[in-house]
Amino acid sequence: MNYKVIFLFLFSTLCRADDGYRLWLKYDLIKDAGQRASYARSAQLIVLNSTRPVLKTAAEELQTGLQGLLGKPIPIVASAAGKTGSIILTVNPGQPQLNDEGYQILNRRNTITITGKTDSGVLYGVFALLRHLQTRQSIAQLSLTSSPKIQHRMLNHWDNTDASIERGYAGESLWKWYELPERIDPRYREYARANASIGINGTVVNNVNASSRFLTAEYLQKVASLANVFRPYGIKIYLSVYFPAPKTIGGLKTADPLDPEVNQWWTDKANEIYKLIPDFGGFLVKANSEGQPGPQDYGRNHADGANMLAKALAPHKGIVIWRAFVYKADGKADRFKAAYDEFKPLDGQFEKNVIVQVKNGPIDFQPREPFSPIFGTMPQTPLGMEFQLTQEYLGFATHLVYEAPIFKECLESDTYVGGKGSTVAKVIDGSLHEYKLTAIAGVANTGSDRNWTGHPLAQANWYAFGRLAWDHTLSAEALANEWVTMTLTTEPTSAKTVTDLLLKSREIYVNYNTPLGLSRPWTGVHFAPEPWQNRSSRPDWTAVYYHRADSVGLGFDRTVKGSHALAQYRPEVQRQWSNPETCPLPYLLWFHHIAWTKKLSTGRTLWDELCSRFYSGADSVGAMQKQWASVKKDIDPETFANVAGRLVTQQKEALWWRDAWVLYLQEFSKQPIPAPFKKPERSLKEVKELVEIYQLR
Ligand code: GCV
């Protein structure tokens, strides 16, 4: 082989390799010339008569996308001058049917008009049109109207000043604080593009376990420089704030929210921020939670704390997002009930620009949780949703878990707060209680890894979250298929196979990890199974606190005979869930302590059913590997190998989870492993030794 041939070979290999950096915005050339020509009929020119930044972004994004997909230059011009085949970008503040960020796309005689009520609406319309092309749909008679159902669609980054990410599994933080504001990493813009393409319009860049450093003049310059990058993409920046900042950086003796000097400090701070960042979004606050200070340290309540910040931000139209993730270190209490007990009495007491952000479930982002009862109880307080995209309890970045089914399950749950059909989605989109403020947040799964999310398929979680935040009625299946087609392959059979793989991944994970409503939010390593863990600085940070295995059975009794947490739900929900016969199996052990020998609706005893799920879950990972292998020819080799490797790890760890639970629980149940399953080959002691390795320093 001569050098020329070697070069050409290497070059073509490099061109082919896909490291995932381009996410779902690939815009590779459409191979089918006929299809290209049919799209091109309506896409000869982009017409934009404005230099406003978001509109400019819209035109340039459209140009980038079209040029890639159609393989030819598409000029941006100020006027179409009667030419057909143009795409006209236009803003019409009076456009009926649309809300502020909505768009309408119409194709009439090969002239496409994308109309937004605002500049952002046009940008979202552009991405919707590109999505149509990327998923190879016809645009000939296109007529699309869409408006976001929720106003604030945000990512929450748990990123620290030292570039570490709390519960981050895809490398370090994207934000290079030591380089900012002078050096702007080009990746910040790529991040903004990706978010805008799925409708995200806000980002909280730092950890809710916040450092007061972010509120110093030095750091605000850095934050402002990021805001400048995000602005042309319609994305506002927010900060998590450390409640005692008036003391730590303001030199005051107190951070009491009712103290006038403290109020003045926050007012001055807000003024300082808005001078630098005129469209700053607001503050996110974790207070009196897991050791974070807050208003209760001064005998005040959450509303006092939130309202003080809200008043400081109100003149600038900023908002306060106050988290409801609170629970006290009380071993006798049921942590499930804590947030509801603290927040329900405060309903209606928050300022108009406060939104209370509630995690989807009552405990903490478990593989499966019932919806938080708070959603059914605070009609006078805007409630926002907090989902977790990063896989803290879902196998980090090694296990494949497509999360849209988790989001949908919660959003579609019926709270009954306003009668049948009062879904969580209708609570948080404001339609049920006519909230003036609506929000949804995803704890980001992004990091400095080239492919952004560590596991290549975890990009689908970021994608699906954004799309659902825009429109929660979209199905998990449609979104999976959309993402796969835009990102991995347009070949329909393989796309269908990968979509199917994504869709079943969550249930498989639950089966080998926490079936039938088991939960596992203990401290430990968050990664490895430790059902035996019974020692910690606080009782609700042990495993045994949650699963309550004993010689009789398993599960946390939250009925009237137990902690009575069920009383926090509306009577219709209580009626169904408080009876073990009618409680859905996926939630059974969340609410009931069930005898090992009790026959379930499946016809098996609890013990046999658990074993069957642990074993079938672990086996299914093998089936997922086979399914992935079957699409090899249609997937980029680098991405294929990356996922294949992670599936091997997942298989190993699924067996590990299965063995840990089965061997540990068997010590209580004293039951044999039911046929056809075989007893694990290793002992409980051996599994424990494996876990210990992950705890070594
Ligand atoms: C940011 C869980 C996580 C913590 C996280 C906390 C929260 O407890 O383990 O890392 O802290 O939730 O949501 O505040």
- Whether domain 511-556+593-695 has CATH 2.40.50.100: the reply is no
Separation of CA 462 and ligand 1 centre (Å): 19
Region of poorest pLDDT, from 194-198, 276-280, 336-340, 688-692: 688-692
Separation of CA 286 and ligand 1 centre (Å): 10
Measured torsion, CA atoms of residues 260, 295, 343, 351, in degrees rounded to the nearest 10: 20
* Residue 616: pLDDT over 50: yes
Q: What is the number of the ligand 1 atom nearest to the C-alpha of 526?
A: 9
Quickly state the pLDDT bin for 617 (edges 50, 70, 90): very high
What is the 3 state secondary structure string of 583-598? CCHHHHHHHCCEECCC
Kindly state the average pLDDT of the residues 682-696.
Answer: 91
* Residue 82: pLDDT over 90: no
Q: Interhelix angle for 260-276 vs 217-230, to 10°?
A: 40
What is the 3 state secondary structure string of 228-281? HHHHHHCCEEEEECCCCHHHHCCCCCCCCCCCHHHHHHHHHHHHHHHHHCCCCC
Separation of CA 372 and ligand 1 centre (Å): 16
| pTM for this model (two decimals) | 0.97
* Residue 3: pLDDT over 60: no
Give the three-state DSSP class for 143: strand
Q: Which residues contact 225 (CB under 8 A, 6 or more apart)?
A: 180, 181, 184
How far is it, in rounded angstroms, from Cα 671 to Cα 606?
A: 11
- Is 692 an annotated catalytic residue? no
Q: Residue with the nearest Cα to atom 13 of ligand 1?
A: 325
* Residue 55: pLDDT over 90: yes
What pLDDT was estimated at residue 464?
99
Q: What is the number of the ligand 1 atom nearest to the C-alpha of 292?
A: 14
462-493: pLDDT as tens digits: 999 999 999 999 999 999 999 999 999 999 99
How far is it, in rounded angstroms, from Cα 406 to Cα 532?
A: 27
Residue (of 459, 462, 461) closest to 451 by Cα position: 459
189-233: pLDDT as tens digits: 999 999 999 999 999 999 999 999 999 999 999 999 999 999 999
What pLDDT was estimated at residue 604?
98
How far is it, in rounded angstroms, from Cα 96 to Cα 671?
A: 66
Arithmetic mean of pLDDT over the chain = 96
pLDDT > 70: percent of the chain: 97
How far is it, in rounded angstroms, from Cα 598 to Cα 605?
A: 5
* Residue 15: pLDDT over 80: no
What pLDDT was estimated at residue 30?
98
253-268: pLDDT as tens digits: 999 999 999 999 999 9
Residue (of 59, 67, 124) closest to 88 by Cα position: 59
Q: Interhelix angle for 476-487 vs 404-411, to 10°?
A: 150
What pLDDT was estimated at residue 632?
98
108-123: pLDDT as tens digits: 999 999 999 999 999 9
How far is it, in rounded angstroms, from Cα 407 to Cα 385?
A: 10
Separation of CA 110 and ligand 1 centre (Å): 51
* Residue 525: pLDDT over 80: no
Quickly state the pLDDT bin for 691 (edges 50, 70, 90): confident
Contact 620, 511 (CB under 8 A): yes
Q: What is the number of the ligand 1 atom nearest to the C-alpha of 443?
A: 13
641-676: pLDDT as tens digits: 999 999 999 999 999 999 999 999 999 999 999 999
Strands 354-359 vs 143-146: parallel, antiparallel or unpaired: unpaired
Residue scoring higher pLDDT (5 or 66): 66
CATH number of 152-488: 3.20.20.80
What is the 3 state secondary structure string of 672-696? CCCCCCCCCCCCHHHHHHHHHHCCC
Give the three-state DSSP class for 401: coil
* Residue 13: pLDDT over 90: no
Q: If you write DSSP's letter for every residue of 93-118 in order, what string do you get?
A: TT-TT--TT-EEEEEETTEEEEEESS
Q: Residue with the nearest Cα to atom 7 of ligand 1?
A: 325
Among 359, 364, 525, the mutation site with the greatest number of ligand 1 atoms within 8 A of its Cβ is 364
What pLDDT was estimated at residue 523?
67
How far is it, in rounded angstroms, from Cα 261 to Cα 267?
A: 10
Of residues 290, 412, 507, 572, which has the active-site annotation?
290
* Residue 626: pLDDT over 80: yes
What pLDDT was estimated at residue 378?
97
How far is it, in rounded angstroms, from Cα 412 to Cα 419?
A: 14
* Residue 8: pLDDT over 60: no
* Residue 461: pLDDT over 90: yes
- Partners of 448 in the beta sheet? none
Quickly state the pLDDT bin for 526 (edges 50, 70, 90): confident
174-193: pLDDT as tens digits: 999 999 999 999 999 999 99
What pLDDT was estimated at residue 290?
94
Ligand 1, CB within 6 Å, residue ranges: 158, 166-167, 208-209, 286, 290, 325, 364, 392
Tokens of 487: 């990102």
Of residues 392, 403, 482, 659, which has the active-site annotation?
392
Among 167, 443, 537, the mutation site with the greatest number of ligand 1 atoms within 8 A of its Cβ is 167
Q: What is the DSSP secondary structure assignment for residue 292, as one 8-state letter?
A: B
What pLDDT was estimated at residue 643?
98
Instruction: Tell me if domain 152-488 and domain 511-556+593-695 are identical in fold.
Output: no
Among 158, 160, 206, the mutation site with the greatest number of ligand 1 atoms within 8 A of its Cβ is 158
Of residues 61, 101, 364, 482, which has the active-site annotation?
364
612, with CB counted inside 10 A (0-12, 13-18, 19+), is middle
Region of poorest pLDDT, from 6-15, 246-255, 464-473: 6-15
What pLDDT was estimated at residue 332?
87
Quickly state the pLDDT bin for 331 (edges 50, 70, 90): confident
367-425: pLDDT as tens digits: 999 999 999 999 999 999 999 999 999 999 999 999 999 999 999 999 999 999 999 99
Separation of CA 158 and ligand 1 centre (Å): 9
Q: What is the number of the ligand 1 atom nearest to the C-alpha of 386?
A: 13
- Residues 466-496 as b/e (b if ≥16 CB within 10 A, e otherwise) read bbbbbebeeebeebbbbbbbbbbbbeeebbe
Quickly state the pLDDT bin for 12 (edges 50, 70, 90): very low
- Domain borders along the chain are 33-146, 152-488, 511-556+593-695
Distance of CA 682 to the CA centre of its chain: 36
Give the three-state DSSP class for 423: strand
- Is 364 an annotated catalytic residue? yes
Separation of CA 173 and ligand 1 centre (Å): 17
Separation of CA 209 and ligand 1 centre (Å): 8
Which class is domain 33-146?
A: alpha beta
